[in-house]
Structure 1
Amino acid sequence: MTDAVWSSKSHERQRDHHYPAVFLSLALATLVISLIRADYFFFLLLRGATALHNGMLSGVLYSSLRFHESNPVGRILNRFSKDQQVIDELLPQAFFDSAQSLIMTLGAVVILGIINPWVLFILVPLVPSFIWIRRFFLKSSRQIKRLDSVTRSPIYALFSSSLSGLVTIRAFKTEDNLINSFIERIDANTRAWFELNAGVRWFGLRLDLMTSALTTLMAILTVALRHQIDASSAALGLMYCITLSSMFQWAVRQSAEMENHMTSAERICEYSRLPPEPDFYNAKQKPPSEWPTKGKIEFKNYKFRYRAELEPVLKGINLDIEPCDKVGICGRTGAGKSSIFQALFRLVDKSATEGQICIDDIDINTISLSDLRFHLNIIPQSPVLFSNTLRYNLDPFSKHSDEELWIALTMVQLQDKMSEIPDGLSTQIAEYGSNFSVGECQLICVARALLKPSKILLIDEATANIDMHTDKLIQQVIREKFSTQTVLTIAHRLDTIQHSDKIVLISDGLVKAYGKPADVLDDTKMTDIDLDDVDDMEKGAL
């Protein structure tokens, strides 16, 4: 309006008037306010995106094992990658543009109403039509957006599994099959993406028709009422009508896009509300700070299911493991060996278990998961290393000095290897520890176990994927350095557990034999108790 009033003045009055100073002041004030608004606006949105990400991360980390069994890795990666990118980048931009454009559109309509009030009558049919079209578009586009997100998850899953199984793919020459599967998943996702973009163009065309009707009516009324409207106001009204056609379409499209992007926020919020494992921090009792002091483990008629509706995997086992005992657990695949370790770590809900597991006369169901898992030590079958420094992988909580870390590496005979690397403890571990051999990664896990003070050590076939020399080295380190701890070892090779104090023979979820190695082997050969298990182990030893 200032431009119109200023343009209507004569040239001499413009020169003497204060309009240039007012116009410059308004421009500077608009610039300052816009910068402050944009900075504060995006600051709030990024803070919100950070809160959503942290909530989703906490939900996934504290969720039960059942969630990870029923959700593929690609689906989880999709939430942390594409959905989070939408929240970080696309949603703030769409929100900012839609808010700004809608305010400018409203201001343009107000100016048009001031210049020519008759033009507002066209809003009577346009507004209901606009609301109906927008509602129709959002119903379809929101579902297509969800379909786009769902069809993207198999792409991440296939790509992730391909990277981990690249050696096998090349060995069997299945590259073409893998490429065809990848292209099929890309095509499925592209179809959803194309439909979404086609819907956006359909919506934009309808909006252009609406704004064109407003511009046409404004032009007709300007000519019809040319004697009642001065030239500067008429020109200003036509200019706003022309700019309104693109501005209104952009505002409405961005508002619709913002609602579509909110499906990503909905998916992230879904993961942030995942039910956590019960009693992770809160429990009936708090164990002593030095618990367990002995390392005695008792299974009392213990039954274990992976889900409450499934049949039990452990069918009422009874075991008394004395302090500092070295116990080997053997049995065929599916007999229930690894389930014993999952039961000790309480990786399933209490409703899927029966009986008791006591450590130093304390029922593990009465203490929190945090306290229980903190006081247990494990060397997994597949070495688990993080994409971080060697120091972090050995001491993630920074509780030990560099000297203690080097002592642990010396115990597993890795000091010479690590000393040759210029960065030493600051050496960066690649993804999955790919810059070290499998044996070296397993030795790093053994060194990490050496640094953790715990009276109970669980070894889940830690030497299954390494050579015999490294196997003997690990067994020697375990016998020497964990002599004062209770050690439970799952093994498929007889020589792995032949030096154990006792052997547990598991078959079909039941303890078939328990005692000294010589007695167990003699008993199994004298009876028909899973003789195939013993034969398989002896063949593995050979």
Structure 2
Amino acid sequence: MSFYDSTPLGRILSRVSSDLSMIDVDIPFSLAFSVGGTMNFCSSLAVLAVVTWQVLIMAIPMVCVTIRLQRYYVAAAKEVMRMNGTTKSYLANHVAETVAGAVTVRAFEEEDRFFEKNLDLIDINASAFFHNFASNEWLILRLETISAALLSSAALCMVILPPGTFTSGFIGMALSYGLTLNSSLVYSIQSQCTIASQIISVERLNQYMHIQSEADEIVEGNRPPLNWPVAGKVEILDLKVLGKCQLREVVQEKDEGLNSSGKLAEYDEPMSLMKREESLFRKLVKEYWSHFQSAESH
């Protein structure tokens, strides 16, 4: 039960709702789309290479640049996705607590404050989503530029080919495949980056799967004796008592306890107890000292 006592409700709801749904539904579809887009891009590039092999000279550096852009985007997209999940947990936790304590909120007339807090949490969560959307558009713009440059180089090579090298129908088919190169590249890279971002949900659920289990209710090697407790003892450590005075409030610190016989006991160093005016130990030593001095005088 310590896990549920120390973990906010919104964080648990985020794990078992959005993260679990993303693993069951979103990741399989993104994986299928990524494989399909990659195969479509490779087939379109192969058709262009058959017509004009010179396009491979332009394609190889473009693929290297695409891989660099993908790695750069994924590094930022993962952190934005993690921020989105964290802020969503805060929002879900606030909504759950507000609904559960709606009667108390209305009794103290705090509806406006809770409403403003909810709007602030929505803005924070939407900010992470907007940053993810902006970074996605940044990647799409550069991928479309690379695809347009690759198609332009292929068309240029077809123009400078000697007459009669290929038929017009074959060249038209190659150009039609080249036009789909743009969307295929964007779709493939975007799906791969989406999978890399959605893997954060697997990481979050995997963290909960390896939480240390609760201890057994009964530990056989650590059982108390049958007649336990033999003697009761209550210790009061670092007790702070607020005493009301006419002029000011005095905070008194006491380290006391009740032993098994019901007598009051103090816990501290002897010198510290001697410095306290209200200490029983100080009064006892003072009384013994006065008796000792009176005995010596007689």
Do both proteins adopt the same fold according to a TM-score greater than 0.5, normalized to the shorter chain? yes
Amino acid at match of 2:15: R
Q: Distance in 2 between matches of 1:153 and 1:124?
A: 43
Distance of 1:280 and 1:235 partners within structure 2: 76
Cα pair distance change 1:229/1:173, threshold 3 Å: same
Aligned to 2:17: 81
**What is residue 130 of structure 2 aligned with on the other side?**
194
Q: Do the aligned partners of residues 297 and 263 (structure 1) sit closer, same or farther apart at CA in structure 2, a change above 3 Å counting?
A: farther
The alpha-carbon deviation at position 167 of structure 1 amounts to 0.9
Distance 1:509 1:99, change over 3 A: farther
Letter in 2 for 1:265: V
In structure 2, what residue type is equivalent to 1:71? Answer: T
1:198-248: CA deviation from partner (whole Å, max 9, x where unpaired): 000000000000100111011111111153122122111101110110111
**Matching residue of 1:253:** 190
Query: How is 1:138-149 mapped onto 2 (pairs within 5 angstroms)?
Result: 138-149=74-85
Distance 2:184 2:42 in 1: 10
> Which of the residues 298, 314, 322 maps onto 2:228?
298
> Structure 1: which 5+ runs fail to align?
1-63, 288-295, 304-313, 317-507, 515-542
TM-score, structure 2 normalization: 0.73
The percent identity for this pair of structures is 26
- Which amino acid counterpart does residue 238 of structure 1 have in structure 2? L
CA contact (8 A) 2:81 2:128 kept: yes
Given candidates 55, 64, 73, the residue that maps to 1:119 is: 55
Superposition deviation, residue 297 in structure 1: 7.2
Question: Partners in 2 of 1:165 and 1:150 — Cα distance?
Answer: 23
Q: Distance in 2 between matches of 1:297 and 1:145?
A: 57
- Find the partner of 1:234 among 167, 171, 188: 171
- Match 2:159 to one of 208, 212, 223: 223
How far did residue 298 of structure 1 move?
Answer: 2.9
Instruction: State the Cα distance separating 1:116 from its structure 2 match.
Output: 1.9
Output one character per residue of 1:379-414: Cα deviation in whole Å (capped at 9) or x when no partner: xxxxxxxxxxxxxxxxxxxxxxxxxxxxxxxxxxxx
Alignment partner of 2:117 out of 161, 164, 181: 181
Please say if residues 232 and 260 of structure 2, whose CA atoms lie closer than 8 Å, have aligned partners that are also in contact: no
C-alpha RMSD of the superposition: 2.7
Greater gyration radius: 2
1:208 equivalent in structure 2: 144
Map of 1:98 onto structure 2: 34
Report the 3-state secondary structure (helix = DSSP H, G, I; strand = E; otherwise coil) of the residue aligned with 1:229: coil
In terms of fraction of residues, the more helix-rich structure is: 2
Match of 2:201, as an amino acid?
A: S
Amino acid at match of 2:213: P
Kindly report structure 1 stretches of 4+ aligned residues shifted beyond 4 Å. Answer: 300-303, 508-514
Number of aligned positions between the proteins: 239
State the AA in 1 paired with 2:102: L
- Give the deviation of 1:70 after TM superposition: 2.9
TM-superposition CA deviations, 1:168-190 (whole Å, max 9, x none): 11222211111000000000001
Structure 2 SS opposite 1:127 = helix
SS of alignment partner, residue 145 of structure 1: helix
SS at match of 1:228: coil
Q: TM-score scaled to structure 1, two decimals?
A: 0.41
Which amino acid is 2:140 matched to?
A: G
**Which residue identity lines up with residue 210 of structure 2 in the other structure?**
R
After superposition, the Cα gap between the structure-2 partners of 1:210 and 1:171, relative to the gap in structure 1 and judged at 3 Å, is: same
